[in-house]
A = this chain, B = another copy of it.
Amino acid sequence: MTLVPAESHARSSAQAALATAFAPQSVAIAGVSPRTTGWGGGQMFLRGIRNLDVVPQVYCLNPRGGELDDGTPLYRTLADVPGPVESLISAVPASAILGLIDDAIDKGVRVIHLFTAGFGETGSSERAGLEAEVLRKLDDAGIRLIGPNCMGIHSTRGGVSWMEDGSTTPGRVGMLSQSGMNASEVVGEGRRRGIEFSNVASFGNASDLNEADFLEFLAHDSDTDIVLAYLEGIRNGRDFMRVARLMSQSRKPLAVLKGGLTEAGSRAASSHTGSLAGSAQIWNAVQRQAGFIPADSVEELLDLAVTIERMPEVAGPRCAVLGGGGGVSVLAADICDRNDIPVPWFSEDTQRVLREFTPVAGTSIRNPLDAGFMFEGEHMETAFSAIADDPGIDWLMIHMGADSMGPRSASTGQDDFAERTANQIAATSAKVSKPLAVVIRQPRTNSGFARGLDLQHRLNEHGVACYQSIAASARAVRRYLDWQTR
């Protein structure tokens, strides 16, 4: 007879619970207000789920009963729900939580997500006691808990979300986050960056299911190729390290943004999710041992996802920096150098090709290439091919602004800037022998923003990696290369 160790049992129970939470057959939402406008927690989840193409059986609860404007019934208790309920989302106040838990146990719910906040993270011992009581009840019943104090699950394939305007397109990037807002930011901003998500979890206080459980789920999730994480505290360092190392060994990229690495941030994390955040020194050691990719901001998590998805073939750091503007080029070279991205002069052969059609005044053809006119078309493919074939260059970075159309303004109308530019870059990118990235500098006018956004969407469709600054591009490529060569 084989004994299953308790630890392994807990792990498989956690993974089974998460499989349900990410793709439930049936969901009940407790605390749905009958008003269909306004923010209210329960309504938010209902709208998030209904926004998706795959919608599980959903039941709405409200102690007063009644129905929504569209006729959806509001059940007074879980006992009134006519079918089974696998997953429960709670948006009731903390004061009503114990009764709801009792009902959930009776109903046979498998996993509960507490959007409900106001527990240990408040610093009140009374509320910490309530949290302990919730955990004890659930543990006795074998029900696993997501949260409390979090947004829970977003899964386009599984039909669960808190984002009423979230993307409905299934993608290959997963995320675990101790902050719902940071997760929402990454998913929302991801849409602009052309990054779509598989399974996303906001897990707040992590009182039961914690970062190691979510990471394990995403590590083994066949819908997920890349995992992003925002963490404040680590509840289960041993398992987190084990899974992170496993991912590193199996070359499944994991990028982690750690909040609370400073004294002030650590104090804030204790107020936010009751986390013990630890020091930057310890975290750096963890990073080196676990072999994930460190990120310094929410934006950088997406920069890394873009790099991994769109530039998998970048073989080294040596960069050709291409654009218009002498001072911009000097600062671009400084920024690359500071991020350990070399900007070597082009070979004599390459310079000879460029010299053939570049006027000598007001330009530079050494690297950075300062020759805005080149993006006009005629010479772009020749120039870029020569640069890509330069043995001293590993990748090409084009930087451009969208506020003015620069040398294009004479020949083209404003409206086709994004289309023409995107098509030209995509065509060039397809023909040159090295990976190519595009930096669209921050706009300052409404029309510049709209043009830049349009250009970004079109480049996304062509699979071209886009970044919002030269620094972001350089840093992401450097960190990805560092991870690859570990």
CB distance from A24 to the nearest CB of B (A): 24
Query: Once the chains bind, are B269 and A361 in contact (CB under 8 Å)?
Result: no
Query: Does chain B have a CB within 8 A of A155?
Result: no
Can you sample 19 A-B contacts with CB below 8 Å?
A118-B359, A178-B327, A179-B325, A182-B327, A189-B444, A230-B327, A232-B327, A257-B331, A260-B334, A264-B336, A264-B337, A265-B330, A265-B333, A268-B364, A268-B368, A272-B364, A442-B442, A446-B450, A449-B449
Complex: A112 Cα to B278 Cα, angstroms:
62
Query: Once the chains bind, are A267 and B334 in contact (CB under 8 Å)?
Result: no
Query: Once the chains bind, are B192 and A444 in contact (CB under 8 Å)?
Result: yes
Query: Once the chains bind, are A364 and B271 in contact (CB under 8 Å)?
Result: yes
Q: Which of A44-52, A338-346, A390-398 contacts B (4 or more CB under 8 A)?
A: A338-346
Complex: A51 Cα to B149 Cα, angstroms:
57
Number of interface residues of A (CB under 8 A): 82
Nearest-neighbor residue (CB-CB) of A365 within chain B: B271
Query: Once the chains bind, are A361 and B94 in contact (CB under 8 Å)?
Result: yes
Nearest-neighbor residue (CB-CB) of A93 within chain B: B361
Query: Once the chains bind, are A272 and B327 in contact (CB under 8 Å)?
Result: yes
Nearest-neighbor residue (CB-CB) of A181 within chain B: B325
Query: Once the chains bind, are A267 and B327 in contact (CB under 8 Å)?
Result: no
Query: Once the chains bind, are B272 and A330 in contact (CB under 8 Å)?
Result: yes
Query: Once the chains bind, are A269 and B449 in contact (CB under 8 Å)?
Result: no
Contact pick for A268, options B149, B188, B343, B443, CB 8 Å: B343
Query: Once the chains bind, are A333 and B444 in contact (CB under 8 Å)?
Result: no
Using Cβ atoms and an 8 Å threshold, which residues of chain B touch A38?
Answer: 410
A325, A407, A450: most-surrounded residue (chain B CB, <10 A): A325
Query: Once the chains bind, are A361 and B117 in contact (CB under 8 Å)?
Result: yes
Complex: A178 Cα to B326 Cα, angstroms:
9
> Provided the pairs A122-B360, A267-B333, A449-B446 are in contact, do residues A327 and B179 lie with their beta carbons within 8 angstroms?
yes
Assembly of this chain: how many copies? 2
Query: Once the chains bind, are B37 and A410 in contact (CB under 8 Å)?
Result: yes
Complex: A122 Cα to B364 Cα, angstroms:
8
Q: Which of A244-300 contact B (CB under 8 A)?
A: 257, 259-265, 267-269, 271-273, 297-299
User: What 1/0 flags go to A297-341 for Cβ under 8 Å of B?
Assistant: 111000000000000000000000000111111111110111000
> Provided the pairs A327-B182, A410-B39, A446-B450 are in contact, do residues A122 and B361 lie with their beta carbons within 8 angstroms?
yes
Query: Does chain B have a CB within 8 A of A420?
Result: no
Query: Once the chains bind, are B122 and A333 in contact (CB under 8 Å)?
Result: no
Query: Once the chains bind, are A362 and B117 in contact (CB under 8 Å)?
Result: yes
Query: Once the chains bind, are A345 and B267 in contact (CB under 8 Å)?
Result: yes
Query: Does chain B have a CB within 8 A of A116?
Result: yes
> Provided the pairs A179-B328, A262-B333 are in contact, do residues A39 and B360 lie with their beta carbons within 8 angstroms?
no
Query: Does chain B have a CB within 8 A of A87?
Result: no
Complex: A443 Cα to B445 Cα, angstroms:
12
CB distance from A219 to the nearest CB of B (A): 22
Query: Once the chains bind, are B181 and A259 in contact (CB under 8 Å)?
Result: no
Nearest-neighbor residue (CB-CB) of A35 within chain B: B410
